[in-house]
């Protein structure tokens, strides 16, 4: 027996008579895909890949005694693999017919050769990137295999989504929640462009994300190859750092710079992977990168002059009010210490909802269009505003008519839309602690009003008003006041809540009283469809060992319009056993847009929606679906859904006008 044949590994690939005379069939055994043929009573086993364009020979046919490639019509002998009249051909493998079927002798598989994308995936893991959402496709297969190897080693988790936009929203939400980057993966062309909305969400809300996109071979870049898009141009300003991966690149260093930029600049980094580079062998001894010696401490102490000016404003104020935005989310202990020292009410922007409990003696809820009358009252009664990590969105409506001390890590943000009394460049926690330390010396003697009694009174008035709204009933669905009143009772205090946009979101801001819940939203972009993919990102964080999030329940709140954007992702949640409870307000309408049309004296036009029974859809997907049509059904439905082991949905038929 020849030496090569002695080394063969024999595998059964077909049952007897499984392949008819004159037919072909692709068969995969191990990592080898074969084109099995049956011609003139004999079996052949050929490499399935045509040597010219890579066409799948197993999808071809035998015509006039020759196997024809389905892509470009080249002919081969179905048993020998030779191309008649030419010197080339297809590799063939030994075949044996045995009593139990057809067996093929294959050479031992070669050991995996470490590639440049292996080095890059190892570097991603070293930077703490543990979660990847994406879609595997023809122009990212080499990179996908490198990620698969890291997942196989237990170093990261990968989630195959149904739309790339969900991947980037999930990564954005994960970054907002944890402060750490996650990654999203797409192919060249349309897959990459589908990422853009979620990446813009990350960009404007300062969330660290690593975007990984395939690209066509570099040799065909330029003329307009299939699915070729100029991705550097397409990603434009959405990516604060973007680079192609070339064969001559320092591959670990590219990931070092991408991860470092995402973390320090709090935004999107983008790596473009041409197809042929992904499987290029790594240099012998190539080492993965990592963050050691690459990251400085983030704590920026404000300039002394700015700190003194801020202290002067605060010391001269009898009714200071603190406003916190999304940028303060990781520094609230220091901010609350300062608030308690000053007896200052704490208002939040909508993006900052939940950063202080609505049951805290100084908590006043959300300021602005999605907010409470409590917050607006205290802003109007204040004589100075201390603003930490807020963007001054027009939706929030922070008045410029009061002396403002604004603190932010980004100097461009300070006084961006109008002048403020004292712009302070510094990290929020550091600055709040410095202010508290100096004010503690003279706080006792300051002529400052203790506003806690007023806060309690304002909450009493607002809760009385909410109780009145509970009685509103038009027979056209459940009111938002009733929906969020039940959620106040049923949603666990440690839940992570992802909310969408629209009337459901405005009502959430007004009526839901946060305790210790963390809230995620598409803040500055305000993108419909955010909630469910964001909940997937949050769920991934709860599976990690970070004690801030481990084991916490996850709730998504959306309208029917928002869920319709990414309703296929319910299948993703079922596939991976994601414990997400979805509260879906179904009013068969883009209710917020209808309201805007009315307020602008427009006709209400094209805002109605044709919906399925979403609860039945959830059941069909393998989740738990419950439909609620009356307010008295809310508590039991929410309790059941929250207790379900896996994805669940409470579809509530809601009144579009009782918001």
Average pLDDT value for residue range 501-518: 94
Q: What is the pTM of this model?
A: 0.92
The CATH number assigned to the domain holding 40 equals: 2.102.10.10
Average pLDDT value for residue range 284-294: 94
Cβ(39)–Cβ(78) below 8 Å: yes
* Residue 2 pLDDT: 40
Q: How confident is the model at residue 443 (pLDDT cuts 50, 70, 90)?
A: low
Does residue 339 carry a pLDDT above 70?
A: yes
Question: Does residue 530 lie in a domain region?
Answer: yes
Q: Are residues 341 and 403 in the same domain?
A: yes
Average pLDDT value for residue range 562-575: 97
The CATH number assigned to the domain holding 611 equals: 3.40.50.970
- Please calculate the CA angle 48-54-56 and round it to the nearest 5 degrees: 40
Q: Are residues 96 and 133 in the same domain?
A: no
* Residue 72 pLDDT: 84
Q: Which of 79-93, 137-151, 439-453 has the lowest mean pLDDT?
A: 439-453
Average pLDDT value for residue range 613-634: 98
* Residue 441 pLDDT: 86
Does residue 23 carry a pLDDT above 70?
A: yes
Which residues, listed in sequence order, are joined to residue 89 by a DSSP beta bridge? Answer: 82
Question: Does residue 593 lie in a domain region?
Answer: yes
Tokens 């009502």 belong to: 507
Please report, for residues 318, 453, 529, 650, the alpha-carbon distance to residue 580 in angstroms, rounded to integers and kept in the order given. Answer: 45, 38, 16, 11
**Dist. CA 533–CA 162, nearest whole Å:** 11
Residue at which a domain ends, from 421, 455, 489: 455
Question: Does residue 465 lie in a domain region?
Answer: no
Q: How confident is the model at residue 659 (pLDDT cuts 50, 70, 90)?
A: confident
Structure tokens given for 400: 């410029």
Structure tokens given for 120: 């890059």
Does residue 609 carry a pLDDT above 90?
A: yes
Q: Are residues 399 and 339 in the same domain?
A: yes
Residue 488: CB atoms within 10 A of its CB come to 15
Average pLDDT value for residue range 309-317: 95
Q: Are residues 399 and 492 in the same domain?
A: no
Question: Does residue 296 lie in a domain region?
Answer: no
Domain span at 531: 471-653
> Tens digits of per-residue pLDDT, 203-249?
999 999 999 999 887 766 666 777 667 778 878 889 999 999 999 99
Number of structural domains (the chain) is 4
Question: Does residue 611 lie in a domain region?
Answer: yes
Residue 274: CB atoms within 10 A of its CB come to 22
Does residue 1 carry a pLDDT above 60?
A: no
* Residue 228 pLDDT: 67
Q: Are residues 450 and 479 in the same domain?
A: no
Average pLDDT, rounded, for the chain: 93
Q: Are residues 224 and 347 in the same domain?
A: no
Q: Are residues 211 and 160 in the same domain?
A: yes
Q: Are residues 493 and 551 in the same domain?
A: yes
- % of the chain with per-residue pLDDT over 70: 97
Q: Are residues 440 and 311 in the same domain?
A: yes
Cα 223 to chain centroid distance, Å, stands at 34
Q: Are residues 447 and 511 in the same domain?
A: no
Average pLDDT value for residue range 10-35: 94
- Report DSSP letters for 315-333, one per residue: HT-SSEEEEE-GGGTT-HH
Does residue 68 carry a pLDDT above 50?
A: yes
Structure tokens given for 627: 């439909």
Residue at which a domain ends, from 423, 455, 487: 455
Q: Are residues 487 and 628 in the same domain?
A: yes
Residue at which a domain ends, from 220, 242, 277: 277
Does residue 6 carry a pLDDT above 70?
A: no
> Tens digits of per-residue pLDDT, 182-214?
999 999 999 999 999 999 999 999 999 999 999
Average pLDDT value for residue range 429-436: 96
* Residue 25 pLDDT: 95
Q: Are residues 61 and 191 in the same domain?
A: no
* Residue 234 pLDDT: 78
> Tens digits of per-residue pLDDT, 162-180?
999 999 999 999 999 999 9
């Amino acid at each position: 027996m020849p030496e090569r044949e002695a080394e063969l590994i024999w595998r059964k690939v077909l049952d007897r008579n499984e392949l008819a005379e004159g037919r072909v069939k692709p068969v995969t055994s191990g990592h080898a895909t074969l084109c099995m043929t049956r011609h003139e009573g004999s079996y052949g086993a050929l490499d399935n890949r045509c040597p010219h364009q890579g066409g799948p020979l197993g999808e071809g046919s035998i015509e006039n005694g020759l196997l024809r490639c389905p892509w470009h019509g080249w002919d081969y002998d179905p048993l020998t693999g030779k191309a008649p009249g030419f010197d080339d051909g297809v590799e063939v493998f030994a075949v044996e017919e045995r009593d139990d079927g057809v067996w093929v002798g294959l050479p031992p598989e070669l050991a995996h050769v470490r590639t440049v994308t292996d080095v890059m995936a190892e570097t991603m893991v070293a930077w703490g990137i543990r979660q990847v959402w994406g879609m595997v496709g023809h122009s990212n297969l080499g990179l996908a295999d490198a990620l698969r190897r890291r997942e196989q080693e237990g170093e990261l988790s990968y989630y195959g989504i149904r739309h790339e936009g969900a991947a980037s929203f999930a990564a954005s939400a994960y970054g907002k929640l944890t402060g750490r980057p996650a990654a999203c993966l797409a192919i060249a062309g349309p897959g990459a462009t589908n990422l853009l909305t979620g990446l813009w969400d990350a960009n404007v809300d300062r969330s660290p994300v690593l975007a990984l996109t395939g690209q066509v071979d570099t040799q065909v870049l330029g003329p307009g190859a299939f699915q070729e898009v100029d991705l550097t141009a397409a990603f434009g300003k959405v990516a604060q750092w973007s680079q192609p991966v070339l064969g001559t690149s320092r591959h670990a260093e590219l990931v070092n710079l991408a991860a470092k930029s995402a973390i320090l600049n709090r935004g999107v980094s983008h790596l473009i992977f041409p197809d042929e580079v992904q499987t290029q062998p790594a240099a012998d001894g190539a080492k993965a990168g990592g963050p050691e010696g690459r990251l400085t401490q983030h704590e920026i102490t404000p300039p002394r002059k700015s700190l003194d000016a801020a202290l002067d404003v605060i010391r001269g104020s009898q009714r200071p009010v603190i406003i916190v935005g999304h940028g303060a989310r990781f520094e609230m202990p220091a901010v609350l210490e300062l608030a308690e020292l000053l007896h200052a009410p704490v208002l939040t922007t909508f993006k900052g909802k939940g950063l202080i409990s609505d049951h805290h003696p100084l908590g006043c809820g959300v300021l602005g269009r999605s907010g409470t009358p409590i917050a607006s009252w205290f802003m109007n009664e204040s004589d100075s505003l201390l603003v930490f990590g807020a963007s001054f969105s027009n939706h929030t409506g922070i008045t410029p008519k009061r002396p403002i001390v604004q603190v932010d890590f980004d100097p461009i943000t300070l006084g961006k839309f109008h002048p403020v009394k004292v712009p302070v460049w510094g990290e929020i926690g550091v600055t709040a602690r410095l202010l508290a330390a100096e004010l503690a010396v003279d706080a006792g003697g300051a002529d400052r009003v203790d506003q806690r009694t007023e806060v309690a009174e304002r909450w009493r008035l607002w809760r009385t008003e909410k109780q009145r709204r509970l009685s509103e009933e038009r027979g056209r669905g459940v009111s938002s006041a009733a929906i969020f009143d039940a959620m106040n009772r049923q949603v666990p205090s440690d839940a992570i809540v992802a909310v969408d946009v629209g009337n459901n979101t405005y009502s959430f801001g007004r009526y839901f009283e946060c305790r210790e819940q963390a809230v995620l939203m598409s803040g500055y972009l305000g993108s419909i469809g955010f909630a469910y993919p964001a909940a997937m990102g949050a769920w991934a964080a709860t599976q990690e060992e970070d004690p801030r999030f481990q084991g916490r329940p996850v709730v998504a709140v959306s309208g029917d319009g928002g869920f319709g954007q990414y309703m296929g992702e319910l299948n993703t949640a079922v596939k991976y056993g994601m414990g997400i409870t979805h509260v879906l307000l179904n009013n068969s309408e883009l209710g917020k847009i209808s309201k805007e049309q009315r307020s602008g004296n427009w006709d209400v036009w094209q805002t109605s929606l044709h919906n399925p029974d979403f609860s039945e859809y959830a059941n069909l997907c393998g989740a738990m679906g419950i439909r609620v049509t009356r307010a008295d059904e809310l508590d039991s439905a929410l309790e059941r859904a929250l207790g379900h082991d896996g994805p669940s949905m409470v579809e509530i038929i809601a009144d579009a006008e009782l918001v």
